[in-house]
């Protein structure tokens, strides 16, 4: 049987005592479109950097396409394509020249390069921009060219680190379509990181939710959302809400759980559209003032909340703070 596309055991990265990645076990099948979802600073990019040989893990091991990331670095590098989070093109070269450079670095001969450049440009709809200098590309076009470049040498696994970061909604949808298309047409295994819930939900066959360097949940988006089960009804209420008032709501039929965060109550409710009138009546019987009611079907945001006890944005500011502290410590060390 073929080795999985990626197999990691206890993958760990420590920067000056700070655990950026904490013993990650991960198995990704060949041909899968897999997502690492989590807030900034959760360790997603660090995992990608280790798997793409850009960082050496402090502990643990991993194999990409059957090759060990520590001992068989060049074999790993030959098997992968990488689209980095930050731009990585030569802005003084045209799109075609950037692709040509890339092809030569991967040992492709002229004929192979010419044919393949035409193919990948077609895939990302940049054929007519091939000879424009990169500095005249828009952000979205540049990202598309980087995706084309990542595919150029027929990698077995393509890594995309935050592929739609900073792009507008329309460009984001285009990029999603290209990613899906190349996963289907080229059969390439795709591993992407994102902190956009809807991106992971829309694109990925399986998602690993990452927080503080650990995988807290891993499954298909549907099954993850099924863990929440019911719909979410969010009530904005008075600050003075009491435990008895909360109890009155959680006793209702169909209400599976009530989480309280300050003046916000989050109710997990089965068939919520039918239950809302009862919830509002029960609240008014308990003399609880409701300021607003919203309901939605479970999202990956709710899954994240369930497993980490916080919203992804809150985790993000905490995570960013952690990263900033580490970076300033690392700077201090260097000088």
How many angstroms separate the first and last alpha carbons of the chain? 51
Q: Measured from the CB of residue 85, what is the shortest distance to other proteins in angstroms?
A: 9
Q: Measured from the CB of residue 95, what is the shortest distance to other proteins in angstroms?
A: 13
Q: Measured from the CB of residue 205, what is the shortest distance to other proteins in angstroms?
A: 25
Instruction: Choose between 102 and 306: whose C-beta lies nearer to other proteins.
Output: 102
The answer to whether the CB of 302 falls within 8 A of the CB of 225 is yes
Token pair, residue 225, equals 């959302």
Distance, in Å, from the CA atom of 198 to the CA atom of 186, rounded to the nearest integer, reads 24
Instruction: Choose between 157 and 267: whose C-beta lies nearer to other proteins.
Output: 157
Longest dimension (CA), the chain: 78
Q: Provide the 3-class DSSP secondary structure of residue 37.
A: strand
Q: Measured from the CB of residue 54, what is the shortest distance to other proteins in angstroms?
A: 6
Instruction: Choose between 69 and 279: whose C-beta lies nearer to other proteins.
Output: 69
Instruction: Choose between 100 and 162: whose C-beta lies nearer to other proteins.
Output: 100
Distance, in Å, from the CA atom of 126 to the CA atom of 144, rounded to the nearest integer, reads 8
Q: Measured from the CB of residue 94, what is the shortest distance to other proteins in angstroms?
A: 9
Q: Measured from the CB of residue 14, what is the shortest distance to other proteins in angstroms?
A: 15
Instruction: Choose between 2 and 86: whose C-beta lies nearer to other proteins.
Output: 86
Q: Measured from the CB of residue 62, what is the shortest distance to other proteins in angstroms?
A: 16
Token pair, residue 100, equals 């040509």
Instruction: Choose between 142 and 308: whose C-beta lies nearer to other proteins.
Output: 142
∠ Cα 222 308 210 (to 5°): 65
Q: What Cα–Cα distance (Å) separates residue 73 from each residue in 15, 62, 63, 78, 317?
A: 21, 11, 10, 9, 34
Q: Provide the 3-class DSSP secondary structure of residue 214.
A: strand
Distance, in Å, from the CA atom of 197 to the CA atom of 83, rounded to the nearest integer, reads 20
What are the residue ranges of helices labelled H in the chain? 44-51, 73-79, 95-105, 110-123, 139-151, 169-185, 197-203, 221-228, 243-250, 272-285, 300-308, 312-334
Distance, in Å, from the CA atom of 279 to the CA atom of 236, rounded to the nearest integer, reads 13
Q: Measured from the CB of residue 79, what is the shortest distance to other proteins in angstroms?
A: 9
Instruction: Choose between 44 and 149: whose C-beta lies nearer to other proteins.
Output: 149
Instruction: Choose between 79 and 194: whose C-beta lies nearer to other proteins.
Output: 79
Task: Give the interface with other proteins as residue ranges (CB under 8 A).
Answer: 49, 52-55, 74-75, 77-78, 80, 82, 84, 86-93, 97, 100-102, 104-108, 149, 334
Residue 39's closest CA among 267, 273, 212, 254?
Answer: 212
Distance, in Å, from the CA atom of 257 to the CA atom of 268, rounded to the nearest integer, reads 5
Q: Measured from the CB of residue 41, what is the shortest distance to other proteins in angstroms?
A: 15
Instruction: Choose between 92 and 242: whose C-beta lies nearer to other proteins.
Output: 92
């Amino acid at each position: 049987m073929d080795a999985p596309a990626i197999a990691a055991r206890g993958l760990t990265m420590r920067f000056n005592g700070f655990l950026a990645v904490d013993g990650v076990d991960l198995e990704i099948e060949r041909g899968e479109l897999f997502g690492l979802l989590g807030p900034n600073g959760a360790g997603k990019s660090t995992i990608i950097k280790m798997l793409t040989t850009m960082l050496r893990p402090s502990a643990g091991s991993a194999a990409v396409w059957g090759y060990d990331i520590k001992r068989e670095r060049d074999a790993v590098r030959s098997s992968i394509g990488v689209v980095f989070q930050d731009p990585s093109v030569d802005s003084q070269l045209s799109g075609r020249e950037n692709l040509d450079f890339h092809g030569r670095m991967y040992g492709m001969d002229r004929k192979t390069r010419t044919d393949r450049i035409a193919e990948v440009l077609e895939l990302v709809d940049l054929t007519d921009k091939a000879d424009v200098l990169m500095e005249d590309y828009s952000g979205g076009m540049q990202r598309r060219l980087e995706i084309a470049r990542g595919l150029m040498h027929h990698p077995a696994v393509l890594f995309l680190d935050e592929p739609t970061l900073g792009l507008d909604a329309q460009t984001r949808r285009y990029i999603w379509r290209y990613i899906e298309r190349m996963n289907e047409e080229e059969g390439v295994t795709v591993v992407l990181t994102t902190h956009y819930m809807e991106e992971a939900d829309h694109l990925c066959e399986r998602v690993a939710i990452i927080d503080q360097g650990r995988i807290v949940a891993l499954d298909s988006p549907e099954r993850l959302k099924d863990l929440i089960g019911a719909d979410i009804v969010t009530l904005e209420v008075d600050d003075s809400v009491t435990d008895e008032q909360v109890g009155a709501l959680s006793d209702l039929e169909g209400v599976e759980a009530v989480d309280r965060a300050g003046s916000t109550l989050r109710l997990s409710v089965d068939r919520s559209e039918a239950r809302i009138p009862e919830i509002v009546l029960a609240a008014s019987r308990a003399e609880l003032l409701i300021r607003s009611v919203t309901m939605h079907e479970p999202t990956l945001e709710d899954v994240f909340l369930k497993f980490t006890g916080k919203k992804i944005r809150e985790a993000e500011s905490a995570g960013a703070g952690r990263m900033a502290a580490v970076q300033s410590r690392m700077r201090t060390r260097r000088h």
